[in-house]
Structure 1
Amino acid sequence: MDHFDRDALATFLRHRRALVKPADVGLEAGPRRRTPGLRRQELAELAGMSVDYYVRLEQGRGPRPSTQMLTAIGRALQLSDAERDYMHHLAGTTRTPRMEPGSEVRSGVLHLIESLDDTPVLVCNARYDVLAWNRMATALLGDFAAQAPAERNIIWRFFTDPDARARHDEAGAAQFARESVADLRAAKARYPNDERLTSLIRRLSDASVEFRDLWDQIDVETRRSTRKRLHHPYIGWINLNCDALHDPGNDHWIILYTAPAGTSDREALRLLNVIGSQDLAPRQQPERPAG
């Protein structure tokens, strides 16, 4: 079993309990409540355990809960799959993970991304370190090779580099900020002893008030496919499908940017394939839509 982080589990349970309304679990709200969410007694009853046992868990004093206990708590709190996984990692009831995210990309994956010469593709790990990319990814997202290896991190650049953030429209930037921080929290539970991940979170907290505020919300999520509206300095705004494919053997994510056939966005990708990353002029300034 992995280590048991009592304090982090206690904080997570308190935070999630406060988000569950009595009506969500079929209870009457009753008299006016001093605090939001369920009472500890209500949660304990829903999970089928003693109030004293649950109170000790929330106070960081209880013994390691069993898998069955955590399953009952997760059901009572109406946790998502990602949130359940996070809770189990905090409790140390999952298989002991690697000490740190892998940095070696499988040769088959490298061959795949190079063969997709008309599609921007990159590979990153649980820290959001960019490990591999193709020519189209450079054309769309910038030259990763020009960045120092320590700075070649998607989430670091998003929160600290205004140019990187300006590639997103306002709605997309807010969504990526929220989801990436929630995903990074899930990674921290999987790799609790990774010093580079701990250092990244500390540096981001020091450099970005927005990151720090989002981190304090204790949301948990894993990467998922989405739509993105990205700005290119010569082509303008492009609407793309962003699909994240998981390589579970290495805990890597293969991220592809595509557009449906017969659309102006597909034509924009074709033009991007022609011009590549060459320096053309004049550049279009990103007038970011607010929706």
Structure 2
Amino acid sequence: MSRAELADFLRRRREALRPAQMPATAIHPPGRRARRTPGLRREEVAALAGVSVSYYERLEQARAARPSPEVLAVLGTALRLTVTEREHMARLAGQVPPGTEADRRPVPAEAQGLLDRLGSIPAYLVDERQDIVAWNSAASALIIDFGLLPAEERNTVRLAIRLGGTFCRAPAGEEREFARQFAAQLRAAAARYPDDRSLPELINELAAHSPEFLAGWRDHDVRPVPMLRKFLRHPELGDLEVVCQTLLLPGTGLQLAMYTAEPGSPSATALARLGARSE
């Protein structure tokens, strides 16, 4: 159990809630005590969850014993956590065993076969650390020749630092979303593999590079991977507007990332041409 991480997670989720979102009976009238933060008070969360104020305070102070699944369930409801956030909280509370290196098996042959069958669709597989563990030739033709990179550089986070701004950019107004998504993914990985010594190095590297990542990391931002729009600048094809869709491969811990474009668009035509050359 990571008491400090659990305490910080609970505090961040509590502070993210607004009194206006909650039942009036659980919220102290405004005049009773001035609010120093925009979020809920500890006693309000305790009342919503049906636990004692002193116990909840000890949880946020990293002084309480491991909470039971029943306590986590009522806290999840009180804090309005998503399914992903509830799973993350259970890991921090020690209710889910941590992962080990033995969990990271070689890429299944059927997963590599799936990549190859995608043909002209650029695609790759990443593990929880965002290491690119397999790819097809279309992905190498679109992004970078992964086979020429040292293994430690085949990581979407490090490639974002290396290529960001020159190769890939977000739509206007969504720039911070990329970095916060990396924070969410690495938060989940760090909770699952607390003994992985390579993760802190990767996290510190991106935090030093991106204030948006650091903000997302500090907020304990955990969520599923969304479908992201990106603008790519290819040396031969020019500017491309693509969609990166990520799917979880059940039973593997791997995620499949695929790059597609709006059917009939110039970007779709360019991707098809690139894919035909890479086959």
Residues 174 and 233 of structure 1: CA distance in aligned 2, closer, same or farther (over 3 Å): farther
In the alignment, which of 62, 71, 74 is matched to residue 72 of structure 1? 74
Instruction: Flag structure 1 segments of 5+ consecutive residues without an equivalent.
Output: 278-291
Q: 1:161 aligns to what?
A: 162
Range moving further from structure 2, 213-222 or 12-21: 213-222
SS at the partner of 2:231? strand
How far has the Cα of 1:95 moved from its partner? 4.1
Under a length normalisation based on structure 1, what TM-score does the superposition of the two structures give?
Answer: 0.86
Question: Aligned-residue CA RMSD in angstroms?
Answer: 2.2
2:14 equivalent in structure 1: 17
- How far the C-alpha of 1:96 sits from its partner, in A, is 4.2
Does residue 190 of structure 2 align to residue 193 of structure 1? no
Q: Please list the CA deviations of residues 121-160 of structure 1 after superposition, one character each: whole Å capped at 9, or x if unmatched.
A: 10110000011111110111111112111111111221x3
> Cα distance 1:101–1:239, how it changes in 2: closer, same or farther (>3 A)?
farther
Deviation for aligned residue 1:265:
2.6
Q: Quote the residue 1:136 is aligned against.
A: 138
Structure 2 residue corresponding to 1:120, chosen from 118, 122, 133: 122
| Cα 1:101/1:243, change in 2 over 3 Å | farther
Q: 1:176, CA displacement in angstroms?
A: 1.4
Q: Secondary structure at the match of 1:161?
A: helix
Residues 262, 210 of structure 1: alpha-carbon distance in 2 compared, 3 angstrom cutoff: closer
1:239 shift after superposition? 2.4
1:285 is aligned to none
Q: Which residue does the alignment assign to 2:30? A: 30
Deviates more, 1:185-194 or 1:24-33: 24-33
What is the count of residue pairs matched by the alignment? 273
- Partners in 1 of 2:151 and 2:230 — Cα distance? 26
Deviation of 1:101 (Å): 6.0
Aligned mates of 1:260, 1:101 — CA distance in 2:
37
Equivalence for 2:60 = 58
Answering whether residue 171 of structure 2 is matched by residue 174 of structure 1, we say: no
The code of the aligned residue for 1:10 comes to A
- 2: distance between equivalents of 1:35 and 1:21? 10
- Which residue in the other structure is 1:8 paired with? 5
DSSP-derived class of the 2:258 partner: strand
The Cα of 1:187 is off from its aligned counterpart by: 1.4
Classify 1:209/1:105 alpha carbon distance in 2 versus 1 (closer, same or farther; 3 Å). same
Output the amino acid matched with 1:242: C
1:208 CA displacement:
4.6
CA distance in 1, matches of 2:11, 2:231: 36
Residues 137 and 115 of structure 1: CA distance in aligned 2, closer, same or farther (over 3 Å): same
Question: Which letter does structure 1 place at the counterpart of 2:169?
Answer: H
Please give the per-residue CA displacement for 1:201-258, whole angstroms capped at 9, x wherever unaligned: 2333345555334322321123233333322222222222322121232200011112
Report the residue type matching 2:252 in the other structure: N
Contact 1:100 1:193 survives alignment (8 Å) = no
State the shift of 1:35 in Å.
Answer: 1.9
Question: CA contact under 8 A between 1:157 and 1:164: conserved in structure 2?
Answer: no
Residues 164 and 24 of structure 1: CA distance in aligned 2, closer, same or farther (over 3 Å): same
Deviation at 1:198, TM superposition (A): 2.8
- Partners of 1:101 and 1:126 within 8 A in 2: no
Provide the residue aligned with 2:154 in structure 1: 152
Q: 2:83 aligns with which of 81, 84, 87?
A: 81
CA deviation map 1:148-185 (0-9, x unaligned): 11111111221x31456642235454321111111110
Is contact 1:186–1:220 with CA below 8 Å preserved after alignment? yes
Alpha-carbon distance in 2 for matches of 1:259, 1:208:
28
Q: Which stretch of structure 1 is more off in the superposition, 242-251 or 69-78?
A: 242-251
Change (3 A) 1:141 1:101: farther
